[in-house]
Amino acid sequence: MGVALWLCPKANTPLHDKLVTLTSSLSTLFPGQPPKIDPHVTVTSSISVNLDDPEKTKEDVYKILTASATAIKSLPKNHCNLVTLGKVDSHRSRLKKLYFHVRRDPNLISFATIIRELFVILPQEIDHETMKKYPHLYTTNENGLIVRKKKGKHSIGKEVEPQDADLNLPSIQKVAQEKASHWSQDEYDPHLSLVYSDLYPIDNALWRTIKTRIQDYLNIDNCDSDDLIDNGLGWDNGVLKLVLCEGDVNDWVVLGSVDLH
């Protein structure tokens, strides 16, 4: 996942507290000790952030959060909630073991597309084109991945540095736009996870208990019905968080956040 952008309800609000209590209650139904989950909808993962230099990390985080907040404020004001939670569902994947579907609101999809284009695909495309023009600046690391060489403290001579002017940026941007559009249509699956677990499958007895607990707590019937598009929970604005999602879930790090108003 790398670095991901999360859209979260604001802390210490009735919605946030309700989701935290619900996830804590549901996690007791699963074996082991499922990690605590900060309620969120992932906007996109694999965001390009320089993690090698603390100063550059701070600069990247500020740039991404500022641009993301600006993008979300520019969306049409034609909706009540950007995030609307729907039916409960389960998946084989550990990080989607138990989750609420999120309605594919056009504004949410547009926002995710913009962020994916600017901070995931565009940097990848620029790196790809730069690598073709300046192969001497890249090497293969111990994991077999092609990475940018780090400058040595005692480097002799000046390396030819890539310049954006050397690249066909309009063409690269067009490719990034197209790829982001396809991603949002074919791959993006907005959801709010309730439990992370390796348990699979969830048997009928456990599923009935899960449904009963959700129905009792949220006062909704048929919480797993395909017709349930809005379960009564959702939010507009909230908080954007940039999160380093590497290693154990309990070790994930919030790199920065910004409140939306």
Asked if residue 138 lies in contact with residue 132, where contact means CB atoms within 8 angstroms, the answer is no
Backbone angles phi, psi at 133, to 5 degrees: -85, -30
Which residues make Cβ contacts (< 8 Å) with residue 185, sequence separation at least 6?
Answer: none
Q: Which residues are catalytic?
A: 40, 191
Backbone angles phi, psi at 7, to 5 degrees: -110, 115
What distance lies between CA 251 and its chain's CA centroid?
16
DSSP H helices in 117-236: 122-133, 169-186, 204-218
**CA distance linking residue 48 with residue 203, whole number of Å:** 39
Which residues make Cβ contacts (< 8 Å) with residue 225, sequence separation at least 6?
Answer: 87
**CA distance linking residue 249 with residue 243, whole number of Å:** 11
**CA distance linking residue 82 with residue 239, whole number of Å:** 12
